[in-house]
Amino acid sequence: MRAPWPTAHYRPMTADERPQYEHAIVLGASMAGLATAQALANHFQHVTIVEHDHLPDSATARSGVPQSRHVHVMLPGGEKALEQLFPGFGGGLLDIGATSVRVPQDMLWMNAAGWVSRFAGRRRMLAASRDLIEWYTRLRIQASERITVLDGRHVQGLVPSPSGRAVAGIELRSVSHDRGGARAEDATRLLSADLVVDATGRRSRTPDWLTRMGYDRPQETRIDAGLSYATRIYRRPDADPGWKAIFLQPRPPETNRMGVVAPIEDDRWMVTLQGAGGDQPPTDEEGFLAFASAMRTPAIHEAIRNAEPLTPIVGFANTANRRRHYDKLRRWPERLVVVGDSACVFNPVYGQGMTVAAQTAVALDQRLSEHGLSHRSLDGFAAAMQRRVAKVGDAAWMIATGDDLRYPSTTGAKAGRSTRMMHRYLDRLHAAATTDEAVLNAFSDAFFLLRPPSSLFHPRVVARTLTRRTKTDPEPAAMATGASQIATVPR
């Protein structure tokens, strides 16, 4: 099969650049696992990805990624990181069906304050199904001679070193299915490694494995706004509506409803509706459409009411933010690193997971380079890298949890005085961003994880936010009804 990316971007590794270490194992073929493996291949002679699922050979769903049936976009911060790991990533993804969505030029975007003016797009998002993004990344991984993928394998646990102070490998079984659908497992096999990285995601068993090795379990922070989703795929109409995507944000506590229409491959729309605090989007057709029609604007309802549905409506409610504080443990085993959703899970609505995973992989690459300059072994690497993992995720965690603390239904934490003050400032910023391109660009860069949230408090941004006269009517009359009128939102 011809590689669907520009192979001219690749530069063969020279003899002088032979990897410093021998073997690394990555647990999980998620986006975090794939990006991590690519980063490790710069430093290890061989990298093995071990995945529980039997991986499909096409862009289709798999059981280990239940969230794949809902809207995914590649934020600019994620694309930038993936371009460092896989040169030509964005262009290759576009070649096989992804859509470039310029922000906000190609969108109907209603933020908490009102409609965002459609300025010329300075940034873009790549819109595609999670299945296509992950499949394409697997294709890129298959091009590496240093990386091997073992799918259909169940990891039984970590293998400690004789001293117990390090991880020396993993214990695994092969998982197969007979014709009757029953599961059969082979005998246990041990696989040794110089480094093990857990990227198994939400189902990570590392806390149990640490306990088995005599280490403490990490403390965990869980902030749950009680959000739930419902998603359906539609055939994209032939007529051009004048936009590529719709993003309707909630305005809690007045309304907890949110909606997204995103273009995906094969001329389809993926439509996700969200509710909170018991206001769950229904998974029957009549209820789904009624929920969409009763949002802050009927824009999504007008877009889909006559569109051809291609799938059933599926729900998803596992949306809590959860952070395991591995970086705070007093003792940490050598040669073990935990990344991605295994370490920190964000509410998927903010689209941050793939981006943080890619940025963490880049940080891993950089940290290994730094470590290798002064150390011949990996001693001391894992604990320092675990702290780096936490640091990379700080911005996304602040954005996700800060926004989720606006919902009255949120459990696990409450908005304190400083958070409420920040919310008031961000309310002003959202209002200014509807008409001020500079403020919108500053907000977008922070939300897209290109710049830290602290950039929103730059004196120039603060001055424009606090002095900007905002629109008195948050919803132009032209947006109120009618699919043909939707395209007339200010450009």
Q: Edge-to-edge strand order for the sheet containing 220-223?
A: 220-223, 321-324, 344-345
In a domain, 230, yes or no: yes
Q: Which amino acid is at 331?
A: R
Q: Could you tell me the two tokens for 362?
A: 């880049």
Token pair 């991880």 in the structure block, residue? 167
Q: What is the CATH number of the domain that holds 384?
A: 3.50.50.60
- pLDDT, position 176: 62
**Can you state the angle between helices 353-374 and 31-40, rounded to 10 degrees?**
20
Question: Phi/psi at 265 (nearest 5 deg)?
Answer: -55, 160
Q: How many domains does the chain have?
A: 3
DSSP assignment letter at 406: T
Predicted pLDDT of residue 318: 84
pLDDT of 5? 32
DSSP string, 427-451: HHHHHHHTT-HHHHHHHHHHHTTSS
Least confident range from 209-213, 224-228, 470-474: namely 470-474
CA distance 210 to 271: 40
Q: In this structure, is residue 472 part of a structural domain?
A: no
The CATH number of residue 281's host domain is 3.30.9
Same domain, 287 and 174: no
**Exposed (0-12), middle (13-18) or buried (19+): which is 476, by Cβ within 10 Å?**
middle
Q: Which residue has the higher pLDDT, 235 or 186?
A: 235
Q: Measuring CA to CA, which residue among 451, 152, 200 is closest to residue 342?
A: 200
Verify that 363 and 441 share a domain, yes or no: no
Q: Is residue 78 part of a domain?
A: no
Task: Supply the pLDDT for residue 20.
Answer: 85
**Could you count the other beta carbons within 10 Å of the beta carbon of residue 327?**
20
Closest C-alpha among 306, 230, 241, 307 to residue 268: 307
- Stretch (H or E) spanning 159: strand 153-160
DSSP SS3 for 120: coil
Nearest Cα residue to 390 out of 347, 451, 344, 333: 344
In a domain, 295, yes or no: yes
Amino acid 350: pLDDT: 84
| C-alpha distance from residue 458 to each of 76, 374, 439, 445 (Å) | 21, 37, 11, 13
DSSP 295-316: SSSSHHHHHHTTSPB-S--EEE
Same domain membership, residue 194 and residue 300? no
Please tell me the predicted confidence (pLDDT) of residue 488: 38
Does the pLDDT value for residue 389 go beyond 90?
A: yes
- Confidence grade of residue 8 (pLDDT, cut at 50, 70, 90): very low
Are both 42 and 58 inside the same structural domain? yes
**In terms of domains, do 58 and 205 share one?**
yes
Give dist(CA 152, CA 150) in Å, integer: 7
Considering the domain architecture, whether residues 61 and 208 belong to the same structural domain is answered as yes
Task: Using the predicted structure, report yes or no on whether residue 123 has a pLDDT greater than 90.
Answer: yes
Residue 160: C-alpha distances to residues 29, 33, 227, 264, 392 (Å): 23, 22, 39, 44, 28
Q: Which domain holds residue 370?
A: 7-65+130-222+324-401
In this prediction, residue 4 has a pLDDT band, given cuts at 50, 70 and 90, of very low
Is residue 79 a part of any domain in this protein? no
Query: Taking all residues of the chain, what is their mean pLDDT, rounded to a whole number?
Result: 88
Same domain, 299 and 180: no
User: 41 and 181: one domain?
Assistant: yes
| pLDDT reported for residue 60 | 85
Q: Is 459 exposed, middle or buried (0-12, 13-18, 19+ CB in 10 A)?
A: exposed
Confirm whether 163 is domain-assigned.
yes
- pLDDT reported for residue 319: 87
The reply to whether 426 and 457 lie within a common domain is: yes
432 lies in some domain: yes
For residues 349 and 411, give the distance between their C-alpha atoms in angstroms, rounded to a whole number: 17
Confidence of residue 278 (pLDDT cuts 50, 70, 90): confident
Q: Considering the domain boundaries, does residue 269 fall inside one?
A: yes
Give the mean model confidence (pLDDT) for residues 55-73.
Answer: 78
Could you give the count of Cα atoms lying within 13 Å of 241 in the half-sphere of its Cβ? 25
147/256 same-domain check: no
Residue 163 pLDDT: 93
Q: What is the pLDDT of residues 288-328, one digit of tens each?
A: 999 999 999 999 999 999 999 999 999 988 889 999 999 99
**Same domain for 295 and 233:** yes
Q: What is the DSSP letter of 177?
A: E
Neighbours of 165 (CB within 10 A): 16
67 pLDDT exceeds 80?
no
Shared domain check, 310 and 235: yes
> Is the model's pLDDT at 469 over the cut of 60?
yes
Question: Coil, helix or strand for 210?
Answer: helix
